[in-house]
Amino acid sequence: MRLLASFAYIDPTGQKWEAPKDSVVDGASIPQFAWSFIGGPFEGNYREASVIHDVGCDQKVRPWNIVHEAFYWAMRASQVESWRAKVMYAAVYHFGPRWERIVVVTNVPQGQSLIARQKALVMSGAPEGSVAEIVNVRPHRQSSPPNSNQQQLDFEIRVIPPKPRLTVADFQKLRERIELVERTESGGRTARGIELESSGVSLADIRAYKPGQ
86 and 35 both lie in a single domain = yes
174 and 150 both lie in a single domain = no
170 and 69 both lie in a single domain = yes
Taking residues 127-142, what's their average pLDDT?
A: 91
Does residue 2 sit within a domain?
A: no
Taking residues 86-108, what's their average pLDDT?
A: 94
Phi and psi (nearest 5°) for 35? -65, -30
Taking residues 23-30, what's their average pLDDT?
A: 81
Does residue 1 sit within a domain?
A: no
79 and 17 both lie in a single domain = yes
Task: Say what the pLDDT of residue 144 is.
Answer: 55
pLDDT band at 192 (very low <50, low <70, confident <90, very high): very low
* Number of structural domains found in the chain: 2
pLDDT band at 187 (very low <50, low <70, confident <90, very high): very low
Taking residues 24-53, what's their average pLDDT?
A: 78
Does residue 90 sit within a domain?
A: yes
93 and 127 both lie in a single domain = no
Does residue 12 sit within a domain?
A: yes
- Please give the angle made by the CA atoms of 89, 94 and 100, to the nearest 5 degrees: 110
pLDDT band at 184 (very low <50, low <70, confident <90, very high): confident
113 and 188 both lie in a single domain = no
Above 90 in pLDDT, residue 33?
A: no
The whole domain housing 38 covers 7-98+165-208
pTM of the model: 0.84
133 and 145 both lie in a single domain = yes
Above 90 in pLDDT, residue 21?
A: yes
Distance CA 180, CA 166 (A): 20
Taking residues 84-93, what's their average pLDDT?
A: 93
Mean pLDDT of the chain: 86
40 and 138 both lie in a single domain = no
123 and 105 both lie in a single domain = yes
Taking residues 111-121, what's their average pLDDT?
A: 92
Above 90 in pLDDT, residue 40?
A: no
Task: Say what the pLDDT of residue 196 is.
Answer: 44
93 and 178 both lie in a single domain = yes
Kindly tell me the sign of the dihedral angle through the C-alpha atoms of 6, 35, 202, 169: negative
More confident residue, 211 or 39: 211
73 and 147 both lie in a single domain = no
